[in-house]
Amino acid sequence: MGIGRYLQQRILSFKYSFEGIAAFLRTEPHARVHAVATVLVVAAGFYYGLSASQWIPILIVIGLVWVTEMLNTVVEKIMDHLSPDYHPRVKWIKDVASGAVLVAAIIAAITGALIFIPIL
Ligand SMILES: Nc1ncnc2c1ncn2[C@@H]1O[C@H](COP(=O)(O)OP(=O)(O)OP(=O)(O)O)[C@@H](O)[C@H]1O
């Protein structure tokens, strides 16, 4: 594959990835909740003038919550597509995927509390 064609493919992959983010935001009510929470936390971060060492954990946990929520949504969609009927194995898969979001949310809440409570 020539370099031009390779770059063209990479640009196309980015385009599809952005389409995925847009589809997630457009179709999932959870995504809008995360978007509002992200805007509020980032606004609070600017308002209270967080340092770089405070921003880094905040940005990491924001990313952790977005990534787990997006992958959890993908797992739900895959299972609904492949196995629309009730099945205990589907329950296990969906519950564990949703548990991953909860783990991320708890870590994010603790991180936010450790950084913002002393400032407030
Ligand atoms: N096909 C199925 N077989 C067995 N259990 C299921 C099935 N579909 C859903 N469940 C159960 O219902 C729960 C919620 O699944 P659902 O796909 O409705 O996700 P949701 O309500 O959008 O969840 P979330 O709030 O995590 O996005 C699952 O965690 C699982 O316990």
Own/partner pairs, 55-64, CB within 8 angstroms, 24+ separation: 57/111, 57/115, 58/111, 58/112, 58/115, 61/104, 61/107, 61/108, 61/111, 61/112, 62/38, 62/108, 64/104, 64/107, 64/108
CATH of the structural domain 3-119, one choice from 1.10.287.3610, 3.30.499.10, 3.90.1150.10, 2.40.30.40: 1.10.287.3610
| Residue 17 counted as an annotated binding residue | no
> Does the active-site annotation cover 69?
yes
Ligand 1: which of 83, 94, 98, 103 to mutate, most ligand atoms within 8 Å of CB? Answer: 94
Q: Separation of 1 CA from ligand 1 center, angstroms?
A: 43
The whole-number pLDDT of residue 21 equals 97
| Residue 28 counted as an annotated binding residue | yes
Catalytic residue selected from 34, 64, 69, 101: 69
pLDDT tens for 29-70 read 999 999 999 999 999 999 999 999 999 999 999 999 999 999
DSSP letter, residue 49 = T
pLDDT tens for 72-102 read 999 999 999 999 999 999 999 999 999 999 9
| Structural domain spans, the chain | 3-119
Assembly ipTM: 0.91
